[in-house]
Structure 1
Amino acid sequence: MIALTIGTGEYYTKLAHHAAQAVEKMTGLETVILGDEQFKSSGLRYSHHLKLRIFDIVEHDEVMFFDSDLVCLKPWSPPRFAKRDAIVAVAERLHHMVVRACKEWDIPIQEYFNAGLMIFNRQAHHEWLRETERFVTANPGVPSYDPYDQTPLNITRHRMGLKLELLDRRYNWVGFGTGTFDYEVPLYMAHGLKPHYKFANIDFFEGRYKPPFRWHIQINEEETSRLKNQTLCLKGAHQEKALHLNCDGTIGPPYYPGAGRHWFVHDTPDGPRLAITSDTELLREFIRADNGVWESFQELCFDGD
């Protein structure tokens, strides 16, 4: 397996080299950058479409693609997560574009993935990338609300019936830095380090910006794995709720009411707690009673839109 990213133009070339060095250091993978030379010779209109020709450009059979604005912060082993017959990625946040795309193209909303990190292989996925290029060539500007190729990649994957394996968002934390909670959970790949500040990643790599990391929440991997794909009954003050804990750390259906989107189990001095979070905040915690029911321990007010 190799890791591969794209960097064209002065800024993105510099960003890609920094990102590639971090990935190579933290994963041990040989890292390849597709740059101005490959873009010029490709004849493509947009450089991000180079990812659709990965297996036409490199000879390797297994690739972890990552956007150049991803920052690898902790060591991890991408080959451990590779699947012979599935695309490996992380679910996208449920913002307006995702909801609209899923509705218009009949994509199950829990299967819409962020294309900023993908693990795939030549045998199972070369034709998928080719089909996506055919789609964007035949349908320029479609959909109008997604100027890149993320939605086309999701459309073609769903149409072709390709398997999808979703990792939890620690492996591609989209929108990182929008809440203080983001800095409290140890993560592997942050998708940008500071919202609305284009140069934050380069400043970080070159020592001019230090994110306020406070990695005090320690995920209990064993207990988290035990609860994956389970539907639980949660007891609160005067009500009971059923919710499904997906294998990728997302919730539902059944869903958690309101903004609850993610879950994990973490260690505390009093034992493991099941945490329910929004995209940016910890909302509620549960402790397991002797009868196996998870009971509400703490509920935090969420002041969202």
Structure 2
Amino acid sequence: MEFKDYYAILGVEPSAGEAEIKSAYRRLARKYHPDVSKESDAEDKFKAVGEAYEALRDPHKRAAYDQLRARGYRPGQEFHPPPGGFDGAGYDFDEIFGDMGGRGGGAGGGFSDFFESLFARQRGGARPGAGPQPRGDTRARLAVPLEAVYRGDSVRITLNGRQLDVRVPKGIRAGQAIRLAGQGNGGGNLLLEIEYQAHPQFEVDGRNILYTLPLPVWQAALGTTASVPTLGGSVELKIPAGSDAGRKLRLRGRGLPGGMSSEQAGDQIVELEVQAPAPATEAQRQAYRDLAGAFGD
């Protein structure tokens, strides 16, 4: 398999902070989203960007990846995981657990063999050639798309060479676990701790979904109706006249479902990002001059 330079994929320096990495991911994910981009390889680039962000957004994964990268590997260079796993090669992967090869779609779905060779490990899991493992609960992390949590979809995981379809309970919270009886070491149980995959459009705050809506300045000033994506599909949102940048509008019930508890469904919070496009023509420049004159500047 080939070594991947996740910093180069996101177009950031290895010294980049969390905010810069997140900003680069969201910009590129929007650019290459298959529903938007017309480029022939947009889907591959979209997946690559999602994989890079999954590796770098988690401090433990990033630290372990940086240890590996510091050994001089370069993009495209042939890479072979050392025999017996990474513990014997001086890598600190003990507390890193990946998405177990989740195939649920969305950002980060369908990770490469390189990613899985680094991060798709189980706590207490067997390594090739390690022999029979004692019966008991096996714990691992499962990163799932927000869409799967919203709909209660099934995701396919690869575990020790086997493929399993795991149903994601609708509305399950990050940190809760799915129990698969008899699928752990020695016939014990497998406990999959849920984490949410990064999404190119949405963020999560409890059960609320956060979304930033870019809006031209004239639409914010005069009011409009905008199409807003949600986990359940696009909806029309009325933007009141005189809206300022940073104003937050609420789509009730459009967040994550209440799950198995008595919790209510969350809302989607839409924050307005008012933009003033740069003029590209003389007519547009004149429009800005007229605007300045009308407001007494």
Interval containing the TM-score (normalised by the shorter chain) = under 0.3
Superposition TM-score, scaled by structure 1 size:
0.26
Pair member with larger Rg: 2
Superposition TM-score, scaled by structure 2 size:
0.26
Write 1 or 2 for the structure with the bigger share of helix. 1
